[in-house]
């Protein structure tokens, strides 16, 4: 039996990526508010709705992890990798993620939330 159940991995990873998505959305909202856009409201609305969707998913993820007594801790970081510790059932699973992979996956998720707003 694996230390971390396969079905739990997406939730652990959501705890990595969703906060990053939310930071980016907040910065983007500020950029739209301060930027030279003639009609800001449609952009701000889109970002706010994507933020709402991401927050709802993060809330669901928190709930899943809490019910199963699971945690994610960001550990070591350098120019190339960031290490996270996934804790479940008394076990610790140390995983290293390439920073470029973290950025790319965050960008993919950002696109998913934006696309959900537009449908």
Please check whether residue 1 lies inside any domain of the structure: no
* Tens of pLDDT, residues 6-57: 899 999 999 999 999 999 999 999 999 999 989 999 999 999 999 999 999 9
Please check whether residue 107 lies inside any domain of the structure: yes
* Tens of pLDDT, residues 81-99: 999 999 998 889 999 999 9
Domain count, the chain: 1
Please give the backbone phi and psi of residue 70, each rounded to the nearest 5 degrees, phi first: -115, 150
Confidence band (pLDDT; 50, 70, 90) for 117? very high
Please check whether residue 66 lies inside any domain of the structure: yes
State the DSSP string of 90-114.
TEEEEEEEEHHHHHHHHHHHHHHHH
Range of the domain at 56: 6-117
């Amino acid at each position: 039996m694996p230390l971390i159940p396969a079905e739990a991995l997406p939730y652990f990873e959501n705890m990595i990526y969703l906060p990053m998505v939310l930071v980016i959305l907040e910065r983007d909202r500020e950029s739209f508010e301060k930027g030279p856009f003639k009609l800001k409201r449609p952009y701000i609305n889109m970002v706010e709705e994507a933020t709402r969707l991401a927050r709802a998913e993060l809330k669901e993820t928190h709930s899943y992890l809490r019910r199963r007594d699971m945690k994610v801790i960001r550990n070591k970081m350098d120019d190339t990798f960031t290490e996270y510790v996934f804790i479940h059932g008394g076990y610790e699973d140390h995983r290293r993620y390439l920073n470029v992979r973290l950025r790319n996956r965050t960008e993919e998720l950002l696109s998913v939330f934006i696309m959900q707003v537009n449908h």
